[in-house]
Amino acid sequence: MADLALMLAVFGFAFLAGYLLIRGVPPMLHTPLMSMTNAISAVTILGALLLFSVESGAVSTALGLAALIMASFNLVGGLVITDRMLRMFRKKE
Amino acid sequence: MHTGWQFIVDAGVILLLLAGVSQFRALPSARRGNLAAALALLCGIAAVLFRNPPLEPGAVVIAVLAGSLAGWAVALRVDMVQIPAMVAFQHGAGGVAAFLVSFVELTRHAAALTGIARPAGILGLIVGAATFSGSMVASGKLAGRLASRPVVLRHHNALLLLLIGLMAALALTGGAGPVLWLSLLGLVLLSILLGVLFSARIGGADMPVLISFLNATAGAAAALCGILIQNRLLIACGATVAASGSLLTYFMCRAMNRSLVRVFAGSLPGAPAAQPAPEPVAPASGQDPFVRAAESLRDARSVIVVPGYGMAQAHAQLETVQLGEILARMGKQVRFAVHPVAGRMPGHMHVLLAEAGVDPDTLLDITEINSDFSSTDVALIVGACDVVNPAAITQPGTPISGMPILNAHEARHAVVCNLDRRPGYSGVENSLYAEPATIFLEGDAKVTLRRLFETLQPPASAA
């Protein structure tokens, strides 16, 4: 039960903090914002890595590898494209 | 799992991530914010590897490298016009990872799962799988591989309800061994079908809502997966993403004056299938519209450019920015007014114009610039229709009535560079086109704008 309360607290805190911070993001940066948060949702890579810390069957391993590939694609792709976009927003001299 | 230092590491990662997100509130620091988020996730990965080293490091490294390199290569190559399709695809990749992890955990530790872990995991499985297929359909529509029209099946709502009913039944079966496997597999397949049916009936111009919503569900899937495996970082990161996606969804709905339910119900309320055909007559004045447009621009002291999805379709962002530069060099005040739902995702127009080299300070939001149209000489519309349609204000009962629009009709002249005079996505005739002060330059915006440059600066006098 303590676990459940802690998990709900973590979820609530992160949702509220995210909400308050993101409310102030100007519309100009909405695409990079979505692209970055999308990369953050690839945090499931941690879950995929944890799958490999214990003994498991062939199917589980195969699914775990697929999850790793997709999550790392999502993570790196999302962060790199966000950086590329943000570099384009340059002030004119 | 509650040793003190682990808690501190997790808290540090979460705070670093939130600090990164907070940097997005201003342009100059946004890039740093993205790097901070990258660093936070890297720390999270390092912490996991340190705490729970993989038994087969070789396979793990190869899989991560393969995914990372593919992501990197795609991210460097993708054309900015294709950003919405790319982001939607990425949402799908996130969904896949979330539902695969949930699937393996649910089958592997079936007996050990207690309390909320199992229901959260099953929900994560459903949300992840539906996000995956919904995103693939959205990405296909955004990339032009699928028709962007809403696809509505007969009894669409009944089908969705039936699917949800079946999924609830499967989710409650439980069991162990092969029965559990089969029920979860069935759940994944039904969720995939649900995502397809869900996205299929959302049309092109409602994509900003759909893509934001999928952003939120991808985050929710990660958070649910985190509850299943009792991992604080997954929960916190997923929750932050869900908050961001929800907010963007809300902003997009507000900018269209439509509720989420009405967007997801697909059809535009009351949009008549057949509108009276627009009269193809040329404007009363027999003069070449390009000459009239060039004259009005030459006489203007202030110009507001209004880009829309048509600019993206015509790949005319460079020409649009160039025309702005030419006008600025002629001593005119040039600003860009971007409607929140112009384009196919939140901020789409800003990214395209930034790629074309626009000065970010001249990109203004509807609330910042709307009152300035009345004191502006020329509103130059490039591929935008519904977002400048005065019918939203003047005509009650249309699908866009009450939608906030950019008041281009208040400018002394409106120069419209649109492909044709047909109504936009809403199906409502654009009454701006019929105004006497409107000069309509019909055709592909790239071609039209180039012709406008030439008319504006005859080659002989061009410096």
Q: Which of B100, B116, B123, B217 to mutate to test the interface with A (most CBs of A within 10 A)?
A: B100
Buried b (16+ CB within 10 A) or exposed e, B38-56: bebbebbbebbbeeeebee
Lookup result for tokens 């199992």: B118
Q: How many CB atoms lie within 10 A of CB B400?
A: 27
pLDDT digits (tens, 9 = 90+) for A18-29: 999 999 999 999
Amino acid B152: pLDDT: 84
Q: Which residues in chain A are contacts of B223 at CB distance < 8 A?
A: 11
Amino acid B460: pLDDT: 55
Q: Is residue A6 part of a domain?
A: no
**Integer Cα distance of B222 and B214 in angstroms:** 12
Amino acid A1: pLDDT: 58
- Residue of B47, B358, B88, B367 lying closest to B210 (CA atoms): B88
ipTM above 0.85, yes or no: yes
Q: Is residue A37 part of a domain?
A: yes
pLDDT digits (tens, 9 = 90+) for A28-42: 999 999 999 999 999
Domain count of chain A? 1
- The tokens of B355 are what? 């790629």
For residue A68, the enclosing domain spans 27-88
Q: Which residues in chain A are contacts of B231 at CB distance < 8 A?
A: 46-47, 50
CB within 8 Å: A86 and B94: no
Kindly list the strands in the beta sheet with B438-440, ordered across the sheet, starting from the edge strand earlier in the chain.
Answer: B363-365, B333-338, B302-307, B378-382, B413-417, B438-440
CB distance B446 to B319 below 8 Å: yes
Closest chain A CA to residue B220: A41
The structural domains of chain B, ordered by start, are 78-264 (no CATH), 289-456 (3.40.50.1220)
Q: Is B127 helix (H, G, I), strand (E, B) or coil?
A: helix
- Residue of B312, B359, B320, B365 lying closest to B340 (CA atoms): B365
Q: Is residue A35 part of a domain?
A: yes
pLDDT digits (tens, 9 = 90+) for B155-199: 888 899 999 999 998 888 777 778 888 999 999 999 999 999 999
Q: Which residues in chain A are contacts of B60 at CB distance < 8 A?
A: 49, 52, 65, 68
Q: Is residue A39 part of a domain?
A: yes
> A62 CB near a chain B CB, below 8 Å?
no
pLDDT digits (tens, 9 = 90+) for B4-21: 888 899 999 999 999 999
Please give the mean pLDDT across all residues of chain B: 89
Residues 37-56 of A with CB under 8 A from B: 37-56
Given a cut of 50, the residues of chain B with pLDDT beneath it are 1, 269-278, 280-281, 461-463
Q: Is residue A42 part of a domain?
A: yes
> B125 CB near a chain A CB, below 8 Å?
no
pLDDT digits (tens, 9 = 90+) for B68-106: 999 999 999 998 888 999 999 999 999 999 999 999 999
Amino acid B5: pLDDT: 84
> B351 CB near a chain A CB, below 8 Å?
yes
Q: Is residue A15 part of a domain?
A: no
Active site residues per annotation of B: 386
Q: Which of B2, B23, B50, B101 to mutate to test the interface with A (most CBs of A within 10 A)?
A: B101
